[in-house]
Amino acid sequence: MKISKEDVLKVATLANLELSEAEVDSYRGHLDEILTYIDKLNELDTFGIEPLTQVVAASEDDSALREDVIVRADIIAEVLEGAPDPEAPYFRVPKVIEK
Amino acid sequence: MSAQTTWTIPEVHSALQARKISARELVGEFYGRIEKRNAELNIYLALSPERAYAQADRVDAAIAAGDALPELAGIPVAVKDVLSTRGIPTTCGSRILEGYKPAYDATAVTLLEHAGAIVLGKTNCDEFAMGSSNENSAYGPVRNPVATDYVPGGSSGGSAAAVAAGLAVASLGTDTGGSIRQPGSFCGVPALNPSYGRVSRYGLIAYASSLDRIGPFAHTVRDTATMMSVIAGRDTRDATSASVPVPDYSVNLDRPLHGLRIGIPDDYFGEGIDPDVRKQVEAGIALLEKLGCRRVSIRMPNTEYAIAAYYIIATAEASSNLARYDGVRYGPRVSGSTLTEMYQKTRGRGFGAEVKRRIVLGTYVLSAGYYDAYYLKGQKVRTLIAKDFREAFEEVDAIVTPTSPVPAFRIAERTASPLQMYLADIYTVTGSLAGVPGISVPSGKTSTGLPVGLQIYGPAFGEDRVLNMAHVFEQAGGSTL
């Protein structure tokens, strides 16, 4: 077994996900199966191979760097309209700092 | 004049130009069809009639004024629900974005509308584009218009089905590991995944940023080319969009294929492929040979590691990209006594099972102690897969494979094992990891009448040739093989 229930719970905490008991059980099984499958990568010797993070190399395209210009979007009202608990011009959240 | 089910872009264009139908009537006709069929097929999640009719009126005014009409003017299109549309609900097929209306448009949508296209609405998809069957949508699966008990493929199932059902003339989908090509294959329509960086991702709600791309579905390869010519190009709002010049993709479609070398990875036709799919793709390759292509056996030795590398990289990027859904700025919030509890409840209830599974996997492979073993290893294997393509393209002009090892399957038939579902992405994830363009073009049907797709890969920014080959193949009867 590659992954325990506790591992799933730990990762869920890192990802800020509340999972039900049934979800933890089911994900544990699925992840165990997937991680076991992923182990096949260890058949490959990747010593000295550079990782590929992005297929478009930035050096090929200097225009990717542009001036940092401020453009006013002026969409605060539109953005707040979709927020669950807005108080213009802010988003309200549960209290973070105790007195 | 009533519209045909499968009206192509040039057909709509001439009908508008000849004033046989107005753009407003055309939009009315499509909304009528949608109203009749959407309850059953579940293709559209939101419609945008106000915006569509306003655009139609602009097109009709241009026609009345005798202006030259751009090819896409008045063309009714559908847009996958992961692409932002100002003021139109954009949910990504997720409860966590229920009711969200973006404050801006995706660049691809802006470009289509500037060219005169009419956005009818937003299409259903697997939640956050994670899935291969559309069954992961929080709003229910799309039904495949070809056979309604079957899935349309995923994740852009709604966009593929919209075209196949005649509920849009063309559409936009997105592809991270096969999400344009595979539903194109399942629904029997051409579907192009362009090179990474060819189309701006601005406004595309991210799943896996180093893999996500936007591309078209249409009834004909020519129509996908017309769409591509409009949506491709550099955008200062997407630093990964490429400055490579954009050709007119429709100019070279009819070039003869004589002497082109097509690479066939022989081990792509071994274990796990449906016999009917193999037969149809072999017939497709034979047709390409008849059209003058030379078949060359090639090896893609790292293919067997592609799925593992893909599901590490894609889920790792997803776990990071999806961190923003926290109940603060958009979507419904589930309250909690502390900020953390609010986050956890909102995300726990807002995301569906597959999304949570991928967030957990992605967080795991990035977590302390596992980063090197999984994420870094996956990226190194990605280098090897890109090398397979680079080396192959030194010997051949294109690589031809099945799009999917299986045809469309019945709804609920394959939901038990996520891993089995992932494994069927094998022919598409390789090209996703390498960043190269690939088109799925219909190559006849199985004995039970389900469409089969043949995939043509070209080198990075080689869309022109890929479209040319797919077009000549289609014109030679590929779709009815």
What pLDDT, on the 0 to 100 scale, is given for residue B1? 45
- Does residue B186 lie in a domain region? yes
Measured between beta carbons, which residues in chain B are less than 8 angstroms from residue A27? Answer: 356-357, 360
Q: Which residue among A37, A63, A82 places its CB closest to the CB of B419?
A: A37
- Does residue B127 lie in a domain region? yes
- Count contacts between A and B (CB, < 8 Å): 164
With CA atoms as reference, the chain A residue closest to B372 would be: A51
- Does residue B456 lie in a domain region? no
ipTM value:
0.93
Measured between beta carbons, which residues in chain B are less than 8 angstroms from residue A93? Answer: 328, 339, 342
Q: Give the CATH number for residue B221.
A: 3.90.1300.10
Report the domain count for chain B. Answer: 1
* B20 given a catalytic annotation: no
A45 at interface of B, judged by CB pairs closer than 8 A: no
- Does residue B121 lie in a domain region? yes
Measured between beta carbons, which residues in chain A are less than 8 angstroms from residue B329? Answer: 79, 82-83, 91
Residue numbers of the domain that contains B157:
9-231
List the one residue out of B250, B208, B220 whose CA is nearest residue B70.
B250
Q: Which fold has domain A5-43?
A: Histone, subunit A (1.10.20)
* B179 given a catalytic annotation: yes
pLDDT in tens, chain B (481 residues): 455 678 999 999 999 999 999 999 999 999 999 999 999 999 999 999 999 999 999 999 999 999 999 999 999 999 999 999 999 999 999 999 999 999 999 999 999 999 999 999 999 999 999 999 999 999 999 999 999 999 999 999 999 999 999 999 999 999 999 999 999 999 999 999 999 999 999 999 999 999 999 999 999 999 999 999 999 999 989 989 999 999 999 999 999 999 999 999 988 998 889 999 999 999 999 999 999 999 999 999 999 999 999 999 999 999 999 999 999 999 999 999 999 999 999 999 999 999 999 999 999 999 988 999 999 999 999 999 999 999 999 999 999 999 999 999 999 999 888 899 999 999 999 999 999 999 999 999 999 999 999 999 999 999 999 999 999 999 999 999 9
Name the packing angle between helices A21-38 and A5-14 (round to 10°): 100
